[in-house]
């Protein structure tokens, strides 16, 4: 069990998020259990990206299996190691390709959540630029002996800034990107807040027309639905040039791409994803990692999933030589989340119980035998072996711990006995709406099936 008392801010985020069935953005490392192999694969990718490479991974698992949790765990690790991280969920309004601002919305969400170690909650774009400029000013002062108000100091700073921006100017749309960075420096030097804000708006993709951008910054292009991914590649190269280790992009809830009703639009999104995959795998980009979280349906559905595209099926299907062996390739592009073992689930419960006790500051911890009993009760349910996921387990256990905390005289055995008996009483008793529904001489027309409470919401 965890012995260190967590800060209230972290324990609050953990208890509230886990109890409501969502993944916390803080403290996930304190409940990380059983994903060492998958995390080792993703951690190795970070090393490759730091060295100038690129990476693309799918994290595939059922709802509640731990996809989003693993992405958040990687996010925390990447921030700690000095990467810039941007994350976004795919939604019906945010896609990878499409007109009307659908894919631009994804870019804006990524920039909104742009994070660094010092700004882990997002909105780090301005901090990144100003710390870089301040670092250059410090370097110029040390190298030249000049002070910021001395003649020629700003010129030397601008020369060094242009050295960095020149490195990205040769890439697609890099010239305009470099000019916007210079425009931000100019506004910074002259305390022109309007110019600085205009540069930030352009980088965040917030200009609606090219005319507006030209008037504000003198550039003739803007980030749009067609070019947003080009600017992600530029941003990755830029942050690496100014001292960060690279850019990590996390895209979760990719299942929403399968829900696009128009076949052509859905295929365009898969083609955009394929372009991103090919760029990273073929070494055409540097300092960029892309991780996409999705369900088996998103990957394997032959009609609407990635497997509907032969190009994707060839890249992501399981190795035919290993399919019958029971072994898995842990460093393949697709990271499949396997169910946690009984021992790993018990360890997870122990960590949850200790965090819960520390958060609410009650003296008596839940005994290991009680945690074992809770786990056994959940795994004994019909179909639990196939259907029970860590997400469902965690949410239910937090609920049990809440009830035990609010009822100090209630034992785990009593609580679980009440839970076991509840469905039986419901099944035996007729509902108030249909008091005679279980009697043979019911007033229902002949041939009408009888409905008992446990099947009341089941329809064909």
Residue 180 located in a structural domain:
yes
* 35 token code pair: 């994903």
Same domain, 186 and 140: yes
206 and 133 share one domain: yes
Is the pTM above the cut of 0.75?
yes
Q: How many domains does the chain have?
A: 3
What span, in angstroms and rounded, lies between the C-alpha atoms of 105 and 228?
10
- Whether 383 has a pLDDT exceeding 80, the answer reads no
Give a yes or no: residue 192 inside a domain. Answer: yes
Both tokens assigned to 378: 């959940």
* Same domain for 380 and 310: no
Segment 62-104, tens digit of pLDDT: 988 899 999 999 999 999 999 999 999 999 999 999 989 999 9
Calpha distance 454→424 (Å, rounded): 10
Considering 301, 336, 371, which residue would you say is the last residue of a domain?
Answer: 336
Q: Are residues 107 and 249 in the same domain?
A: yes
Q: Is the pLDDT of residue 443 over 90?
A: no
Cβ(405)–Cβ(356) below 8 Å? yes
For residue 99, what is the domain's CATH number? 3.40.50.300
Residue 287 φ/ψ, nearest 5 degrees:
60, 35
CB 221 within 8 A of CB 25: no
Same domain? 209 vs 254: no
Answer whether residue 29 is part of any domain: no
204 within a domain of the structure (yes/no):
yes
413 and 375 in a common domain: yes
At 353-376, the pLDDT tens digits run: 999 999 999 888 889 999 999 988
On whether residue 182 sits in a domain, the answer given is yes
DSSP string for 248-295: EEEEE-GGGGGG---HHHHHHHHHHHHHHHHHHHTT-S-SEEEEEEE-
Pairing state between β 288-294 and 54-60: parallel
- Residue 243 contacts residue 129 (beta carbons within 8 Å): no
In a domain, residue 452? The reply is: no
Q: Which domain holds residue 415?
A: 342-426
Distance CA 450, CA 444 (A): 9
Residue 137 lies in a domain: yes
Whether residues 323 and 346 fall in one domain: no
**How far is the C-alpha of 295 from the C-alpha of 62, rounded, in Å?**
5
In a domain, 398, yes or no: yes
Q: Which of the given ranges, 22-26, 63-67, 191-195, has the highest pLDDT on average?
A: 191-195
Please give the structure tokens belonging to residue 73: 């765990």
Same domain, 137 and 281: no
Domain boundary among 287, 318, 336: 336
Bridge partner list, 248: 85, 289
Distance, in Å, from the CA atom of 364 to the CA atom of 366, rounded to the nearest integer, reads 7
What is the number of residues in the chain? 460
Stated as kind and residue range, the H or E segment containing 289 is strand 288-294
Same domain for 91 and 46, yes or no, is yes
Which pLDDT score, from 0 to 100, does residue 435 have? 41
Q: Are strands 247-252 and 334-336 parallel, antiparallel or unpaired?
A: unpaired
**CA–CA separation, 102 and 269 (whole Å):** 11
- Cβ proximity of 167 and 161 under 8 Å: no
Asked which of 268, 302, 336 is the last residue of a domain, the reply is 336
User: What is the pLDDT at residue 342?
Assistant: 87
Same domain assignment for residues 42 and 104: yes
């Amino acid at each position: 069990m965890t012995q260190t008392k967590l800060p209230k801010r972290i324990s609050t985020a953990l208890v509230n998020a886990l109890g409501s069935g969502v993944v916390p953005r803080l403290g996930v490392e304190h409940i990380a259990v059983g994903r060492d192999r998958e995390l080792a694969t993703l951690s190795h990718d970070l090393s490759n990206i730091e060295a100038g490479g690129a990476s693309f991974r799918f994290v595939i698992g059922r709802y509640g299996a731990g996809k989003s949790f693993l992405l958040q765990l990687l996010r925390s690790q990447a921030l700690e190691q000095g990467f810039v991280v941007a994350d976004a969920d795919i939604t019906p309004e945010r896609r990878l390709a499409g007109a009307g601002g659908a894919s631009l919305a994804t870019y804006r969400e990524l920039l909104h959540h742009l994070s660094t170690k010092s700004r882990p909650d997002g909105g780090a774009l301005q901090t990144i630029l100003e710390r870089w400029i301040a670092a250059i000013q410090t370097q110029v002062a040390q190298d030249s002996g000049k002070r910021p108000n001395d003649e020629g100091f700003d010129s030397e700073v601008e020369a060094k800034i242009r050295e960095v921006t020149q490195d990205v100017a040769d890439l697609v749309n890099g010239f305009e990107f470099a000019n916007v960075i210079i425009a931000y420096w100019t506004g910074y030097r002259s305390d022109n807040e309007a110019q600085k804000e205009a540069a930030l708006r352009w980088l965040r993709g917030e200009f609606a027309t090219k005319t507006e951008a030209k008037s504000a910054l003198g550039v003739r292009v803007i980030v749009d639905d067609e070019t947003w991914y080009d600017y992600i590649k530029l941003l990755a190269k830029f942050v690496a040039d100014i001292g960060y280790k690279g850019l990590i992009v996390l895209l979760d809830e990719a299942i929403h791409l399968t829900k696009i009703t128009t076949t052509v639009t859905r295929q365009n999104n898969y083609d955009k994803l394929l372009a991103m995959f090919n760029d990273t795998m073929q070494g055409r980009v540097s300092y960029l990692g892309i991780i996409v979280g999705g369900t088996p349906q998103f990957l394997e559905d032959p009609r609407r999933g990635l497997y509907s595209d032969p190009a994707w099926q060839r890249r992501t299907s399981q190795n035919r030589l290993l399919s019958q062996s029971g072994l898995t390739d842990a460093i393949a592009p697709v990271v499949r989340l396997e169910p946690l073992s009984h021992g790993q689930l018990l360890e997870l419960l122990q960590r949850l119980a200790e965090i819960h006790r520390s958060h609410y500051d009650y003296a008596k911890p839940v005994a290991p035998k009680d945690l074992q009993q809770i786990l056994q009760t959940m795994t004994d349910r019909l179909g639990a072996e196939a259907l029970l996921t860590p997400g469902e387990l965690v949410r239910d256990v937090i609920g049990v711990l809440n009830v035990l905390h609010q009822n100090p005289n209630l034992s785990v055995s009593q609580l679980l006995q009440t839970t076991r008996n509840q469905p039986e009483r419901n099944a035996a008793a007729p509902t108030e709406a249909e008091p005679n529904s279980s009697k043979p001489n019911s007033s229902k027309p002949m041939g009408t099936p009888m409905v008992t409470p446990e099947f009341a919401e089941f329809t064909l």
